[in-house]
């Protein structure tokens, strides 16, 4: 059985292109996306949900939990990159590319620290999956999805690397090495309501 990697639903700050504080909730559109996601995943053989502990991820998971009665494990390892003092700042006011390779946000995570944490999150994902016979849902954030794709997952035939993950998108990966991506950034369940917020890098 596979692992289903999901980016959280849309927030108002995704649309406004603002680096999001930790407590940012879903907007109305994001709540609709979470319901549509639950309808799609409710037909999958899912056994457990591993989730970022930030509200926008937990809110995205909740309709699926309500529909299925699944258990959930929340972890800070799956949080979005911490942009420190810049959280709450529009991208246009930063004066530099916050997603650039050498950018270190004040009192936030460097890329090296972020990628180390994502590696720990990936190990935790695999540890949880080994205990299950059904699928594992991993509910997280755009930059985490990108880091997993570029650094930890294999590419099946016809699947190209991307930098941006849509809100409430589903990516399906093999649970065993080389962890091939079987489905990438799928939003067919959103019925024309696919998110177009967030940055070109799929952050937050």
Q: Rounded distance, CA 60 to CA 35, Å? A: 8
Could you tell me if residue 200 is inside a domain?
A: no
pLDDT attached to residue 204: 61
At 29-67, the pLDDT tens digits run 999 999 999 999 999 999 999 999 999 999 999 999 999
At 159-176, the pLDDT tens digits run 888 999 999 999 999 999
Question: What are the beta bridge partners of residue 73?
Answer: 50
Q: Rounded distance, CA 94 to CA 121, Å? A: 29
Mean pLDDT of 174-191: 94
Could you tell me if residue 195 is inside a domain?
A: no
Which residues are CB-neighbours of 152 under 8 A, at least 6 positions away?
Answer: 118, 119, 122, 179
**What CATH code is carried by the domain that includes residue 81?**
3.40.50.1240
Q: In percent, how much of the chain has pLDDT > 90?
A: 88
As given in the structure block, the two tokens for residue 42 are 């409710």
Q: Could you give the number of structural domains in the chain? A: 1
User: Which residue segment(s) compose the domain that 106 sits in?
Assistant: 3-190
Could you tell me if residue 199 is inside a domain?
A: no
pLDDT attached to residue 197: 38
* Band (1; pLDDT cuts 50, 70, 90): confident
- pTM for the predicted model, two decimal places: 0.93
At 125-143, the pLDDT tens digits run 999 999 999 999 999 999 9
pLDDT attached to residue 203: 60
Could you tell me if residue 198 is inside a domain?
A: no
Could you tell me if residue 201 is inside a domain?
A: no
Could you tell me if residue 130 is inside a domain?
A: yes
């Amino acid at each position: 059985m596979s692992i289903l990697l999901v980016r959280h639903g849309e927030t108002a700050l995704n649309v406004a292109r603002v680096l999001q504080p930790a407590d940012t909730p879903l907007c109305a559109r994001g709540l609709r996306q979470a319901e549509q996601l639950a309808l799609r995943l409710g037909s999958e053989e899912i056994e457990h949900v591993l989730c970022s502990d930030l509200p926008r991820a937990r809110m995205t998971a909740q309709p699926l939990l309500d529909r299925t009665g699944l258990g959930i494990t929340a972890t800070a390892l799956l949080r979005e990159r911490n942009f420190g003092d810049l959280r709450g700042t529009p991208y246009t006011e930063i004066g530099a590319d916050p997603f650039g390779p050498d950018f270190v946000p004040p009192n936030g995570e460097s890329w090296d620290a972020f990628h180390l944490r994502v590696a720990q999150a990936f190990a935790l994902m695999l540890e949880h999956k080994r205990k299950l016979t059904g699928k594992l849902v991993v509910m997280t954030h755009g930059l985490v999805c990108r880091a997993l794709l570029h650094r930890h997952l294999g590419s099946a035939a016809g699947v190209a690397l991307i930098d941006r993950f849509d809100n409430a998108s589903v990516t399906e990966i093999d649970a065993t090495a080389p962890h091939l991506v079987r489905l990438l950034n799928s939003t067919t369940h959103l019925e024309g309501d696919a998110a177009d917020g967030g940055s070109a890098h799929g952050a937050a």
